[in-house]
Amino acid sequence: MTAPIPTVIDCDPGTDDALALWLALASPELEVRLVTVAGGNVGLGLTLANARAIVGLTGKAVPVVAGAAKPLLGEYVSETAVHGGNGVGGVTLPEGPPAAPGLACDAIRDLLRAAGPGEVTLIGLGPATNLGLALGSEPALVEKVREIVLMTGAWGEGNITPGAEFNAASDPEALAMVLASGARVSLVTLDLTAQAFVTPERVAALRGRSGGRCLAAAVEILSRIPPSRRFGGRGYPLHDPCAVALAAVPGLMTVRDVAAVVECGTGPGRGRTHLDRWGRTGAPARTGLAEVLEAEAFFALLEERLAALP
């Protein structure tokens, strides 16, 4: 077995972030060294408390560091309709360990400075503000990055505006900085996560697994997520764990290289990602785009690893 990949998880928990963090912490392919947090699905005070609680439930000693409360430009907007007032569907999680001191972008830079060339994978599950600040303020650190995996964007319809996905729309300038950083970036978009479709039957199957406190909390959170209007109320897509799965078990998805840009204007297209899947622009195809998910294998992996946690 190859050595686990040193990994940073940048997140904004968030119901699906919770599942993603537990998947990452249960995956032997990843060595999660740092969790950084931004305001996103809910405000920074809540996302930080949630991240601390989620990590704390696993019993793992991974530092959790607070970062940006708002985007580089514009106003902060939450998404409580999906994630509930506390970010995790109203589920009460036990208080986690205290946050580590410092600021997320500084912590990311410190970790990268101490790493070897091409050693660290960065997984972004929320607005890209912390990652943009870290890489934009010290561009030479990109040589320490193995890959950046982001749950962001869409090549089709958005979920916060007609054209934009929530994370991309929350801070398109930061996303543009990450895409232009020179690192290998792979995108898990709404079009991919729609294939990780959670139905009541899937939640019931997970509830039937034997496991510990993390599995119990995961099932409770999943049961609180409202069904999606975009999918006729039949269930909902599980976004963020797909990004962790791509980093840990890339064979679960097919990936093609594309040219990728994000709109940073002030009009109705703000935050829209333009993903050139067919080479129409002639721009260099330097960004990986996950296109097809092996859904049954993905859910089997998720169930197995959640059940293995304390």
| Structure token pair of residue 266 | 């002030």
Instruction: Report how far residue 149's alpha carbon sits from residue 166's, in angstroms, rounded to the nearest whole number.
Output: 16
Catalytic residue among 109, 202, 239, 272: 239
Query: What amino acid is encoded at 255 in this protein?
Result: V
CB 67 within 8 A of CB 104: yes
Instruction: Report how far residue 184's alpha carbon sits from residue 146's, in angstroms, rounded to the nearest whole number.
Output: 7
Query: How buried is residue 264: exposed, middle or buried, by Cβ count under 10 Å (0-12/13-18/19+)?
Result: middle
Enclosing H/E stretch for 269: none
Q: 282 CB contacts (<8 Å, ≥6 apart)?
A: none
Nearest to 302, CA basis, from 229, 226, 211, 168: 211
Instruction: Report how far residue 300's alpha carbon sits from residue 161's, in angstroms, rounded to the nearest whole number.
Output: 32
Instruction: Report how far residue 234's alpha carbon sits from residue 149's, in angstroms, rounded to the nearest whole number.
Output: 28
CB 198 within 8 A of CB 204: no
| Structure token pair of residue 248 | 């840990």
Nearest to 95, CA basis, from 34, 48, 41: 48
Catalytic residue list contains 274: no
Q: Tokens 């193995």 appear where?
A: 146
Q: 70 CB contacts (<8 Å, ≥6 apart)?
A: 39, 76, 129
CB 161 within 8 A of CB 203: no
Residue-level length of the chain: 310
Residues identified as active-site? 239
